[in-house]
Amino acid sequence: MADIADTLKTPPHSVEAERGILGAVLLDTQLGDAARVLDLCQTSGLTDESFYVPQNRLLYQAMAEINGSGTQLDAITLVERLRATARFDAVGGLAYIQQLIDTTPSAAHAEYYIDIVRQKHQLRKMISCSQKIAAACYDDTQNSNADILLGEAEKDIFEIGGTASVRTDWKSAVDATLFKIENIFDRGAGTFDGLATGFRYIDEKLMGLKPAEMIVIAARPSVGKTSFAMNIAECVATGTNINGFPNKSDNGKKHPVLIFSLEMDTLSLANRMICGRAQVSSWRIARDLMSPSEKADASGRLFKAANELKQSPIFIDDASGLDIADLRSRARRMKKQHGIELIVIDYLQLCNCREFAKQGRQLETSRISGQIKSMAKELQIPLIVLSQLSRANEQRGDKYEKPKLSDLRDSGAIEQDADIVMLLRRPRMIQAQKDDDSLKNAAFVDIAKHRNGETGEVEMTFHGEYTRFGDRAPESKNTSGGNSVDDISEDSISQGSSIDDPVADAATPPPGETYSQATFADAYFDGTDVP
């Protein structure tokens, strides 16, 4: 009985407020400013569907048509328009139009009437959406996966509130921008508005990861894009740079990070992060290649790193094969529950999109890319997404196989949607440079696209033993491509290693280890592949 009663209920609406809007438009025509109220309606997101009473809906339609055509709107032109389109009798004729004018006390209250009608329309849309959700839940012929239905329901509900335009007047925008610039001046050098990546020379070019930005990190398989992204996520969550010092840009503040790991499980990521932060080789731990003294030293560093990471706001969702709508709904919930400030998706080509699954991978990837960009704008946080590169760089005949933006796999929409694109490469993985000892630990991040700033290549250090990247001073500052012992400091320390190179030291067997083990380890870590 309750369901029948609910069905018979009249949907929320306000006849008086609807008449008030239409009457205010007509009153304003007498003052020569007919467009004012209609402009307020449009900027508030009102359409003819916002009016529940059919005759009011028809009148608003006719008014909007006249205003859009550039014709002067008044009672006479409105009547002529209604007659010409056979809607005059349907709205109640001249008597109803005159009644609107007579019953509206003042056009000054139009904004109040508009807000009432907007809210009533929102309520009707929520009722309609709820009925649609209930029908989908009861329909056995449709997809019965509860997680998918939940994602679609959240998307539909959210879209109800996403139609009204967000207005920021020009004066406020100018004032906010000036205030932001003054804050930068006050903070001094080395600070910026975005989240610090933890890498000095990357931050110098990007000036931090900013809200609503879609940042793409792209590379061929096993070059280290997951490692690079996890290093950034770790730095953001711990409030430190890659060398373990507090980030100067926000005084070491910790920022919640959400990682969607579609490729690796949570335990694998935790193992990598702990060992990398502790500067302990997980490979040597797994194969028991450490002497008792090394184990004692490593244990202390591992416990310290584990404790630091345990106290950091890192959240990992390792569900595989996520649909982009489901991923977006999960991100929305985590943002609301934990105040997420950075999202990492590893990686784009492992996402799915049911809507475009049968229309080819290129269209599906385009849709996924667009949804990721929309998610960054919706949540107003930076979003890092990893992407595969095609083999085009290997087939161009370029000796150094440098990747380009056009190498982004499956769709050019990724390049179009992204605010920043970083192309990662490691020269020692290329046949022409695999024996070049000067590039032993070298990696290069080419900032190929930066919508709001500087582009260019940044030289990095990659420590294969720890699957960890580090800063490397540009050649103009350090011709050796690294830091000398005298240069080791908070600003110049080469991350991921002690002063002695751990990979080079692997050739000298530590106490308790045979020479053959060390030689094998050295060969393995020299140019090792990592995801």
| pLDDT tier at 173, thresholds 50, 70, 90 | confident
CA distances for 276 relative to 244, 298, 316, 437, 496, angstroms:
12, 12, 18, 23, 7
Say how many CA atoms lie within 13 Å of 169 toward its Cβ: 2
Highest mean pLDDT among 232-236, 359-363, 386-390, 502-506: 232-236
| pLDDT tier at 485, thresholds 50, 70, 90 | very low
What is the torsional sign of CA 450, 456, 459, 464?
positive
Confidence (pLDDT) at 255: 93
What type of residue sits at position 443?
A: A
The answer to which of 220-234, 356-370, 391-405, 454-468 has the lowest mean pLDDT is 391-405
Between 473 and 442, the more confident residue is 442
| pLDDT tier at 400, thresholds 50, 70, 90 | low
Between 183 and 367, the more confident residue is 367
Highest mean pLDDT among 12-26, 352-366, 467-481: 12-26
Contact status, residue 471 vs residue 235, Cβ threshold 8 Å: no
| pLDDT tier at 233, thresholds 50, 70, 90 | very high
Instruction: Read off the pLDDT of each residue in 410-426 and give the average, rounded to a whole number.
Output: 83
Question: How far is the C-alpha of 334 from the C-alpha of 377, rounded, in Å?
Answer: 16
What type of residue sits at position 162?
A: G
Q: Which of 17, 28, 38, 189 is nearest to 112 (CA)?
A: 17
Here the tokens at position 61 are: 């339609």
Confidence (pLDDT) at 399: 64
**Strands 468-471, 456-463: pairing kind:** antiparallel
**Strands 420-425, 214-219: pairing kind:** parallel
Q: Which of 26, 27, 39 is nearest to 77 (CA)?
A: 26
Rg (CA), the chain: 30
3-state SS assignment for residue 468 = strand
For domain 2-160, which architecture applies?
Orthogonal Bundle (1.10)
Say how many CA atoms lie within 13 Å of 339 toward its Cβ: 5
Residue 387: is its pLDDT beyond 90?
Answer: no
What is the torsional sign of CA 365, 368, 372, 374?
positive
Instruction: Please give the CATH number for the structural domain made up of 188-525.
Output: 3.40.50.300
Between 3 and 220, the more confident residue is 220
What type of residue sits at position 183?
A: N
Highest mean pLDDT among 148-152, 180-184, 404-408: 404-408
Enumerate residues 6+ apart whose C-beta is below 8 A from 453.
Answer: 205, 206, 207
What is the torsional sign of CA 132, 135, 139, 145?
positive
Average pLDDT, the chain: 77
The share of the chain scoring above pLDDT 70, in percent, equals 79
Here the tokens at position 252 are: 């070491």
Confidence (pLDDT) at 142: 62
Unique residue bearing structure tokens 């809210």: 119
Question: How far is the C-alpha of 349 from the C-alpha of 361, rounded, in Å?
Answer: 9
Enumerate residues 6+ apart whose C-beta is below 8 A from 528.
Answer: 464
Unique residue bearing structure tokens 């499956």: 410
Number of residues that make up the chain: 531
Confidence (pLDDT) at 132: 85
Whole-model pTM above 0.75? no
Contact status, residue 429 vs residue 410, Cβ threshold 8 Å: no
**Strands 456-463, 442-450: pairing kind:** antiparallel
| pLDDT tier at 397, thresholds 50, 70, 90 | low
Which residue ranges make up each domain of the chain? 2-160, 188-525
Between 360 and 237, the more confident residue is 237
End-to-end CA distance of the chain: 60
Residue 205: is its pLDDT beyond 60?
Answer: yes
